[in-house]
Structure 1
């Protein structure tokens, strides 16, 4: 047999891989072009928000994981997969929900899932199974997790109170504010530890894939990756307060900045690895998968026409949300208002009394907004703010972070939720002074009163998907 004859199967296989990889690259580029706004938005969040700066490492890590598997993947024959089309359709639907409901997380998730589905659809299930962890690890590209900041703030503050009690330091807590004989401390958003928690979960998943085989050990290590940073952050916050009480508040501030930086992250990683190291049960050079098990019999090469048809169907599925929103969902924009007038309220009269600390409600990009102060016959004073949106689209949202009664750029800080009137969300905020304010926030979507951010997003989603009344009012 000649050397030329021996090389023909290799040439055929190489051509097959080139054809499928070329189709994948083309489709992925089109997806990123179609959803460029969301791709750029994700990249901007990774770069500008310290909570998600670790995402900048996820893409090269995924590339390294795939490169590690290159020789094993070369033993497989790429194919097409209908299941990949299902994944793309799921991602497109998630993006549609996010776009209609004004939830950026769903749009970002939908984009990542569509790219994952593109790999499965154009390379086949056998190749996708060989890259199952790199594909799944791409989910960490989605910037999500800041929603748990209030819960982490509260837990950290309560943990500090427990440890202050053990240390014999008298303290009083109100929400996320702790008062001691020598200071007034806030467990702020930056002190909640969410950025280290999210980064440690991503790191823990990587360690589980590379260092463990037993699912029980993987589960235990992931549990440690969640618990250890939360407890360590609580100890850090307690240490800052304790140093301020026993040494000097100024020294405590500098101590906190040093410990809270990369030193703290390095200590947490070292602690987590020290816990898991004795239980590693996977050899460093162990193969990621067995090609013979994933593809016992090589399939027939996919005809170029079938591969092209798969790509066309995939692109059609990705375009479907745009067509739906343009033809059906965005049909009920309300009339624009030049300016809302402050209403007259029985038993209350307008007041020009100064606030103890400046406060304003924030609704960016509202069509119209007004804020006024009122006083009743008993001397009680309230501030009323109203915002009107003719529709919620293109980032114009009634409910979300930095919208409503708490401006993150101001001196006001959230303390805790309080009892609310029917149909509202109520919470207490505080500012230096100290100044306290109780805020009740109402949201009307399409004329219906909805309670809470989740209900508002669902109502907006329903109106946009079904072409209903999209007008929104915040009070």
Structure 2
């Protein structure tokens, strides 16, 4: 759009309208944040408290900067509310409702961000939305997602380390994510997986690809580098730590790793990625980010105040539907509430007080839980753990953050039980190996949700969602059967099979163990 195409005083009128529309947009955003205040607070706390998502604190100011870059072009455009945008807000609310009923924080966080994104077309209209396509897209990086990659990245890093060690003729033995060399044992722990750098680098790569490139092939290549470089660099970092230990001592190597690990390492990876892409930057410094003439017809005028007020009212109403429905269908408790658990003793086994090495599954908020050690005639111990939830809500979830077979590591301790890899398990169970130094434990875990026995936390979430939405059984539980290996190289699976055969199927075991009562 040229200056001649704008009516006299048109740009000034648009600037005045932008203040009015900006205030209206702020009202809608504030309403959504207040309606979903628990998830708003949880999202912000996740950014602040979880180091993996600390970079998310920078995303809102970066979005503001991206919008500011486009201010001159936006001033020449006329905001015009798009009422169907309220349907997008409602769609986000439905996704939030699914996350609320299933107890999946990721879905709730994603839905909250999507609802905020949908406020732009609802209040400002489609033309402005097209002008702000990348800032709106960049808001997706506010969603704390990516920790699901940790086990895969641990495995990749461990195998990469061993490959490099063998290349440098260092004897190495790998067991899952645990690596042993002649003068030390090492674990590629969750914190060493490189996930925090990968997630942050993907966000950084997207920003650079938009700001510094115009060619889509170059943008795609830079994004690929933003994924590959941090993974490879983290592999070299982990290998370097072990190789230094090979040349010196494990203690010295860990000290060096603590010095270079953290934001120094991230700055190095970021600088390396920028150095790779620098010579290929093809966007001129003074190149405009939007072309108003290509986005909106000449002479367009902002919609009048009554239209804007209607858009605000409809958007807020759409955002309020699903939280209101969730409040009307509050969590139900089991008809026969759990009072206690009475663990049975199968024939041929003797029940004892639990005597494991500082290990107990972590299920906060359970209605009842119990644990015991069983010893067979051969002296083989097997541990049984059961936790029952009469209903699930935000503070008591069967499947949730830090809930599971790994106990939390005390603040004063540096190491604890860690996941080493998945292992075979009976139908309906999940199998895993966990390690604490040279102590190795085999674990079988069953989930009982909505009167079904499943062996996957994802399946458990789906069943919890079905129970909440369609009035199924709100009671859920987990059964964990475990044994610590007497020989780290010999699986304790035979003992687990003998115990399960004696105690019966997991759902029948639960039925015999739960002691119910009524108020």
SS of equivalent residue, structure 1 residue 151: helix
Which residue of structure 2 lines up, in the alignment, with residue 354 of structure 1? 355
Q: TM-score, normalised by structure 2?
A: 0.87
Question: Partners in 1 of 2:250 and 2:370 — Cα distance?
Answer: 42
Question: Partners in 2 of 1:56 and 1:328 — Cα distance?
Answer: 34
Q: Give the CA deviation at 1:464.
A: 1.2
Which residue of structure 2 lines up, in the alignment, with residue 367 of structure 1? 367
Q: TM-score, normalised by structure 1?
A: 0.94
Distance 1:250 1:35, change over 3 A: same
Task: Determine if contact 1:91/1:111 at 8 Å carries over to the other structure.
Answer: yes
Which residue of structure 1 lines up, in the alignment, with residue 439 of structure 2? 435
Distance 1:446 1:221, change over 3 A: same
Deviations 1:46-84 (A, max 9, x none): 111111111111111111111111111010000111342
Which residue of structure 2 lines up, in the alignment, with residue 421 of structure 1? 426
Question: Partners in 1 of 2:334 and 2:281 — Cα distance?
Answer: 58
Question: Partners in 2 of 1:188 and 1:182 — Cα distance?
Answer: 19
Task: Determine if contact 2:449/2:463 at 8 Å carries over to the other structure.
Answer: yes
Task: Determine if contact 2:398/2:478 at 8 Å carries over to the other structure.
Answer: yes
Which residue of structure 2 lines up, in the alignment, with residue 13 of structure 1? 14
Report the more deviating stretch, 114-123 or 11-20: 11-20
Question: Partners in 1 of 2:9 and 2:289 — Cα distance?
Answer: 28
SS of equivalent residue, structure 1 residue 279: coil
Which residue of structure 2 lines up, in the alignment, with residue 129 of structure 1? 130
Q: Give the CA deviation at 1:300.
A: 4.7
Deviations 1:342-393 (A, max 9, x none): 22323322124733x2211221001111111111223221111111111111
Which residue of structure 2 lines up, in the alignment, with residue 450 of structure 1? 454
Question: Partners in 2 of 1:18 and 1:358 — Cα distance?
Answer: 60
Distance 1:11 1:238, change over 3 A: closer
Which residue of structure 1 lines up, in the alignment, with residue 467 of structure 2? 463
CA RMSD of aligned residues (A): 1.8
Which residue of structure 1 lines up, in the alignment, with residue 114 of structure 2? 113
Which residue of structure 2 lines up, in the alignment, with residue 390 of structure 1? 390
SS of equivalent residue, structure 1 residue 386: strand
Task: Determine if contact 1:330/1:467 at 8 Å carries over to the other structure.
Answer: no
Question: Partners in 1 of 2:464 and 2:351 — Cα distance?
Answer: 33
Task: Determine if contact 1:392/1:398 at 8 Å carries over to the other structure.
Answer: yes
Task: Determine if contact 2:77/2:300 at 8 Å carries over to the other structure.
Answer: no
Question: Partners in 1 of 2:352 and 2:81 — Cα distance?
Answer: 70
Question: Partners in 1 of 2:354 and 2:24 — Cα distance?
Answer: 67
For structure 2, the residue ranges without an aligned partner over 5 or more in a row are 1-6, 411-415, 480-519
Aligned residues: 468
Asked whether 1:404 is paired with 2:404, we answer yes
Q: Where in structure 2 are the equivalents of 1:137-156 lying within 5 Å?
A: 137-156=138-157
Q: Where in structure 2 are the equivalents of 1:221-240 lying within 5 Å?
A: 221-240=222-241
Deviations 1:118-156 (A, max 9, x none): 111000111111111111111101111111111100100
Q: Give the CA deviation at 1:324.
A: 2.5
Distance 1:54 1:76, change over 3 A: same
Question: Partners in 2 of 1:176 and 1:311 — Cα distance?
Answer: 52
Which residue of structure 2 lines up, in the alignment, with residue 171 of structure 1? 172
